[in-house]
Amino acid sequence: MLVPMLLVISFLVYLGLEFTPGDAVSHMIPPELASQVSAEKLELIRESLGLNKSFIHRYWAWLSHAVQGDFGHSLAGGVAISEIVLDRLPATLELSAAALLISTIFGCLLGTYSALNRGTLRDSGLTVVGMLGVSIPEFFFGLVAILLFALKLGWLPVGGRLMPGFDSWFDHLPNIVLPALVLSLMMTAGVMRYSRSSMLDALNRDFIRTARSKGLPEWRINFLHGFRVALTPVVVLIGFRLPTLIGGSVIIEEVFQWPGVGAEFIEAVRGQDYPLVMMIALFSVFAMLLASLIVDVLTAWIDPRVRMGAK
Amino acid sequence: MERSSLDRKFDRIRDLEESGQLGGARGNRALRKLLNNPLALVGLILFSIILLASIFAPWLTDHDPGKINLRAMLQSPSAEHWFGTDKTGRDVFARVLYGGRVSILVGLGSALLSAAVGVLIGCYSGYKGGWIDIVCLRISEIFMAFPQIILVLLLVSIVGQSLLNLIVIFVLSGWGAMFRLSRARMLSLREEEYVQALRSFGVSTARICYKHILPNALGPIMVNVTLTTAMFILAEAGLSFLGLGVPLSIPTWGNILNVAQDLRVLQNNWWMWLPVGAVISLFVLSVNFIGDGLRDSADPTQQG
């Protein structure tokens, strides 16, 4: 499913780019010189670049290059797109992984806690806090966090990833704290709500009653029996949250000046750097499809019912 | 034997019945359940306040949201300017009220439109099945393969920035989920006996689909409309904050927040961004409360 989907989407996106103003040649020649270049000469350049061929031909040429790892060049500066993305990717992965880790741990813990204390004041309190978490715009939360912890208290840096001259992993630990916490807020709330209902569901099953009738201690019932079954839908949810994570990181990277792919994407959209916009969008689709594949594998690994059903 | 809470509830209902106080319940059952949910009620009230304040903005403030007043630059909140003024002396309170009009229009309008598109296609293709269904499903898969904000930004860069474009883009990015939802409901409902009865009477497909089955699928769709509204309000705010959403000349909640990208404004002029951020959060919160209440009230397994 992955390859045909990517092909179709790349075709559509390439088609979309046809409707954007200008082509490679009009971007190559500075506007102040454009009037001095004769129409025939422009035509010659277009022909030498293969731009006057039909749309299908050009798509095919682009595709055969892309398959070999040549994704073209950005309009601004003419740097190879693969280079830009590879340069920016570690920062994004670092931030996303941190947020994923934080939100999974806190979300599952709070959700389970909420489910075990079902109907109490603590439970409804957590529910309202969770609602707040998905309602506050992430960038607004980020702004408040910057104001509070960076500008007023001065505990953490305002943004950026590395101070010049420092490059070890430890040196940018303070820089990642704020963006990772802010980014994980919305996801934590989502995971919490989901793991709560999933845990409640699991606790009502027959095997929990069996475990209890065997006289197992309550913590063993809850964590070894209930939690494991409750975990499966949560893993699926975390997979489905990846788009939110990728989407959220676009804005959060911009707020915290985090030099990741998301911030680059926004720069590209602002600068109308169409090839770069297109390639980053395609990479994100690839990442999403890959993520859903991984979720399928993980679910089968955790849940024996899925594994057996497949056979 | 210990009596459970259900026993007590049952007794209470029986007592009421015997004393003749129960009577026929008036009004819509789902609506009554919604109003009995305290959080949903808080949500409804908050939602109405913000919505009405935006609609009746001209009666609530004398200031023009776009009027530049260079003698009143960067004033902190006062009796004259409730939320202070911005860098060009425009009244922030008026901008928040008028901005709410556009932001709510974009959020609610896009959510309703994508629901209309998604449900219209989803019901038909779910009921009909066959190649129409497969084609629609594949198309929706293509749209849903993108992370939402990436798709929105990609489309913004292709078609350019304007209010109408943004709504169209939101609908394009949001109809897929509605389509999936209504299609899935349709697949389970179309095998029901009343549908078979209608079909044997020779009722037309469109009539069965939209008149007879759709009302039974409306509950989850309504819940989804509220969640999508919340999502689009947040998306508009985020995009406009980046300067890539609604053009900056039109006041929206996101466009007002745009100034907070400047660290000096962030540190020194809190009134320019903190109140509007709070308003967005409260509005989205109220929509989420309503959505949650609707989910509970549409669920027949929960008594009310």
- Cα B122 to Cα B118, B134, B180, B184, B193: the distances in Å are 6, 11, 7, 8, 21
Smallest Cβ–Cβ distance between B263 and the set A158, A247, A254 belongs to A158
Is the pLDDT reported for residue A163 higher than 60? no
Strand partners, A73: A80
A80 forms beta bridges with A73
Yes or no, beta carbons of A144 and B277 under 8 Å apart? yes
**Cα B5 to the chain's mean position, in Å?**
36
Q: Please state the rounded mean pLDDT for residues A202-230.
A: 76
Please report the ipTM that was assigned to this predicted complex.
Answer: 0.81
Q: Which residue has the tokens 């009220």?
A: B97
A63-85, pLDDT tens digit by residue? 877 777 777 777 766 777 777 88
Rounded to an integer, what distance in angstroms lies between the CA atom of residue A286 and that of residue A7? 11
User: Which has the minimum average pLDDT: A16-30, B7-21, B47-61, B272-286?
Assistant: A16-30
- As beta bridge partners, residue B85 has B91
| pLDDT category of residue B159 using cuts at 50, 70 and 90 | confident
Q: What is the pLDDT of residues B235-263, one digit of tens each?
A: 898 888 888 888 888 888 888 888 877 77
Give the 3-state secondary structure of residue A158.
coil
Crossing angle between the packed helical segments B163-189 and B214-241, to the nearest 10 degrees: 150
Q: Using alpha carbons only, give the angle B281, A258, A282 rounded to the nearest 5 degrees.
A: 90
Tokens encoding B271: 């009134």
pTM: 0.82
pLDDT of residue A50: 63
Strand partners, B287: none
Confidence of residue A28 (pLDDT cuts 50, 70, 90): low
B67 CA: distance to closest CA in chain A (Å) = 26
| Residue A117 Cα distances to A46, A125, A202, B33, B217, angstroms | 69, 11, 15, 24, 33
**List of residues 6+ apart from B64 with CB closer than 8 A:** B91, B94
Give the Cα separation of A87 and A81 in Å (integer): 10
Give residue B127's region: left, alpha or beta (phi > 0; psi -120 to 50).
alpha
Backbone angles phi, psi at B83, to 5 degrees: -105, 20
Range with the poorest average pLDDT among A25-34, A153-162, B5-14, B212-221: A25-34
* pLDDT score, position B21: 61
Q: What is the pLDDT of residue B282?
A: 92
Report the pLDDT averaged over residues B118-126: 89
Torsion sign across C-alpha atoms B238, B243, B244, B249: positive
Q: Which helix (H) or strand (E) holds B16?
A: helix B5-18
Tell me what the pLDDT averaged over chain A comes to: 77
d(CA B229, CA B8): 40
| pLDDT at res. B168 | 92
CA-to-CA distance for A243 and A228, rounded, in angstroms? 25
In total, the C-beta contacts within 8 angstroms joining chain A to chain B are: 129
Cα separation, A236 vs A57, in Å, equals: 40
Contact B154 A281 (CB under 8 A): yes
Cross-chain residue pair A132–B281, CB shorter than 8 Å:
yes
Query: pLDDT at position A274, please?
Result: 81
Average pLDDT over residues A210-227: 76
Yes or no, beta carbons of B242 and A132 under 8 Å apart = no
Question: Which has the closest alpha carbon to A15: A68, A70, A54?
Answer: A54
Interface test with B, best of A9, A15, A139 (most B CBs within 10 A): A139
Cross-chain residue pair A265–B153, CB shorter than 8 Å: yes
Helix (H) or strand (E) holding B132: helix B130-144
Q: What is the 3-state secondary structure (H, E, C) of A179-223?
A: HHHHHHHHHHHHHHHHHHHHHHHHHCCHHHHHHHHCCCCHHHHHH
Q: Write B261-268 long-range contacts (CB < 8 A, 24+).
A: B261/A255, B263/A146, B263/A151, B263/A158, B265/B87, B266/A143, B266/A146, B266/A147, B266/A151, B267/A147, B267/A151
Q: From residue B301, give the alpha-carbon distance in Å to each of B28, B297, B298, B304.
A: 17, 9, 9, 10
Helix (H) or strand (E) holding B255: helix B253-257
Q: What is the largest CA-CA distance in chain A?
A: 90
Residues of chain B contacting residue A137, judged by C-beta atoms under 8 Å apart: 234, 237-238, 241, 277, 280-281, 284
- Closest chain B C-alpha to A62 CA, distance in angstroms: 19
The contacts of residue B52 (CB under 8 Å, 6+ apart) are none
Looking up tokens 């947040």, which residue turns up? Answer: B234
User: Mean pLDDT across the stretch B88-100?
Assistant: 81
Contact status, residue B174 vs residue B122, Cβ threshold 8 Å: no
Integer Cα distance of B257 and A140 in angstroms: 8
Q: Which B residues 11-50 touch A at CB under 8 Å?
A: 39
**H-type helices in chain A, by residue range?**
2-18, 24-28, 31-34, 39-49, 55-67, 81-116, 121-135, 138-145, 173-203, 206-213, 218-220, 227-255, 261-270, 274-302, 304-310
Report the alpha-carbon angle A298-A299-A303, nearest 5. 120
For residues A259-288, one letter each, b for 16 or more C-beta atoms within 10 angstroms of the residue's C-beta and e for the rest, the string is bbbbbbbbebbeebbbbbbbbbbbbbbbbb
Is the pLDDT reported for residue B283 higher than 80?
yes
CB contact under 8 A, A285 and B280: no
Distance CA B173, CA B144 (A): 8
